Amino acid sequence: MPNLQRMSMFPYQQPDLSGHFGPYGGSFVSETLTHAIQELREAYARYQHDPEFLREFHYELKHFVGRPSPVYHAARTSREMGGAQIYLKREDLNHTGAHKINNVIGQAMLAKRMGKPRVIAETGAGQHGVATATICARYGLECVVYMGAEDVKRQSPNVYRMKLLGATVVPVESGSKTLKDALNEAMRDWVANVDNTFYIIGTVAGPHPYPMMVRDFQSVIGKECLVQMPEMLAEQNIPAQQPDAVVACVGGGSNAMGIFHPYIPFESTRLIGVEAAGEGLDGDRHSASLQKGSPGVLHGNRTYILQDANGQITETHSVSAGLDYPGVGPEHAWLKDIGRAEYVGVTDREALAAFHYLCRTEGIIPALESSHAVAYAMQLARTMRPDQSILVNLSGRGDKDIGTVADLSGADFYCRPSCQGQSVKGGEQPIKIVK
Ligand X SMILES: *Cc1c(COP(=O)(O)O)cnc(C)c1O
Which residues carry out catalysis?
Answer: 100, 122, 395
Select from 29, 74, 84, 98 the one that contacts ligand X (CB under 6 A): 98
Select from 252, 326, 330, 403 the one that contacts ligand X (CB under 6 A): 252
- The number of beta carbons lying within 10 Å of the beta carbon of residue 18 is 9
126 binds ligand X (CB under 6 A): no
Rounded Cα gap, residues 142 and 9, in angstroms: 46
Rounded Cα gap, residues 11 and 7, in angstroms: 9
Cβ closest to ligand X, residue 233 vs residue 364: 364
255 binds ligand X (CB under 6 A): yes
Minimum gap (Å) between residue 43 Cβ and ligand X = 22
* Nearest residue to 289 (alpha-carbon basis) of 264, 262, 318, 269: 318
Minimum gap (Å) between residue 406 Cβ and ligand X = 18
Which span sits near ligand X by CB under 6 A: 3-11, 263-271, 344-352, 367-375? 367-375
249 binds ligand X (CB under 6 A): yes
Cβ distance 61 to 108 under 8 Å? no
Cβ distance 377 to 409 under 8 Å? no
Helix spans in 194-314 (H):
210-218, 220-235, 254-260, 289-292
Q: Find the farthest-apart pair of alpha carbons in the chain and give their distance in angstroms, rounded.
A: 70
Cβ closest to ligand X, residue 133 vs residue 233: 133
172 binds ligand X (CB under 6 A): no
Select from 369, 371, 388, 390 the one that contacts ligand X (CB under 6 A): 369
- Judged by CB under 6 A, the chain residues 27 through 86 that form the site for ligand X are none
Cβ closest to ligand X, residue 233 vs residue 290: 290
Rounded Cα gap, residues 320 and 234, in angstroms: 35
Which span sits near ligand X by CB under 6 A: 30-38, 107-115, 253-261, 338-346? 253-261
Select from 254, 307, 347, 404 the one that contacts ligand X (CB under 6 A): 254
Distances (CA, A) of 282 to 285, 288, 344: 9, 11, 13
Cβ closest to ligand X, residue 84 vs residue 179: 179
Select from 14, 77, 96, 127 the one that contacts ligand X (CB under 6 A): 127
* Nearest residue to 162 (alpha-carbon basis) of 184, 192, 136: 136
Cβ distance 399 to 97 under 8 Å? yes
What are 313's strand-pairing partners? 307
Select from 26, 300, 322, 403 the one that contacts ligand X (CB under 6 A): 322
Cβ distance 207 to 28 under 8 Å? yes
Select from 347, 371, 395, 404 the one that contacts ligand X (CB under 6 A): 395
144 binds ligand X (CB under 6 A): no
Rounded Cα gap, residues 7 and 28, in angstroms: 34
Which span sits near ligand X by CB under 6 A: 39-47, 151-159, 252-260, 345-353? 252-260
What are 273's strand-pairing partners? 248, 343
Please give the residue ranges that form the binding site for ligand X (CB under 6 A): 98, 100, 127, 203, 249-256, 322-323, 367, 369-370, 395-396
